[in-house]
Amino acid sequence: MCARMAFFNWAAPAFNRLADRWSPESIDDIVGWLRPYVAPHGRIIDVGGGTGALARKLSLALDAEVVVLDPTPEMIRYVPDESRVGAVLGSAEAMPFDDGWADAVLVSDAFHHFRDQPGAAAEFARVVRPGGGVVVLELDPSGPFMRMLAAIERLLGEPGAFFTPEQMCAFFAEHDIDGVCERIKGPSYRFTGTIR
């Protein structure tokens, strides 16, 4: 078993207590970024969605189906058992969904954990329908605090593979996903892109 799995295996109960950090305002923001791609009754894959706290709130706010895809059983066991919230064991690099199945992919605080980011981007371009969306919530690694956080993650066996907003936009453009990055607060930013 790789170190990444070991980290989220033992961290899952603590993470579950901290995961529901979503204020009504932050949910409104994420709904606004996803709504252009996801009509009522649409489909979203929350890649690296962990315990499903965000998926649950988004399924209600968007009136949509939200499937959490995550490789850590100890995380997805907390995904709420609700009619339009799903949980699928699997990774971003090999997504068990048909081509064009989703209207959008969401990745919150998980992209820097992916060991094969180009492989994940190729999967997003495959499983999201043409014209669908990719929304990534990430942290800019510039600055001493974020450099320390990345170093701690690497000590814990994680990739700590953070991108600056500029790097994120350039990376996705190389993978047929054109979009924009916008800073949110502190090191947080979002990428919103459209599948060509």
Based on the number of CB atoms within 10 Å of its own CB, is 27 exposed (0-12), middle (13-18) or buried (19 or more)?
middle
Determine, following the binding rule CB under 6 A, whether residue 133 of this chain makes contact with ligand SAM: no
By CB under 6 A, name the one of 30, 58, 65, 71 that touches ligand SAM: 71
Q: At what angle do helices 117-127 and 165-174 cross, to 10 degrees?
A: 60
By CB under 6 A, name the one of 65, 70, 140, 153 that touches ligand SAM: 70
Based on the number of CB atoms within 10 Å of its own CB, is 183 exposed (0-12), middle (13-18) or buried (19 or more)?
exposed
User: For residue 101, what are its two tokens?
Assistant: 């199945």
Size of residue set near ligand SAM by CB under 6 A:
20
By CB under 6 A, name the one of 109, 122, 129, 187 that touches ligand SAM: 109
Determine, following the binding rule CB under 6 A, whether residue 112 of this chain makes contact with ligand SAM: no
Judged by CB under 6 A, the stretch of 33-41, 90-98, 165-173, 184-192 that binds ligand SAM is 90-98
Determine, following the binding rule CB under 6 A, whether residue 160 of this chain makes contact with ligand SAM: no
Question: Rounded distance, CA 52 to CA 88, Å?
Answer: 11
Determine, following the binding rule CB under 6 A, whether residue 67 of this chain makes contact with ligand SAM: no
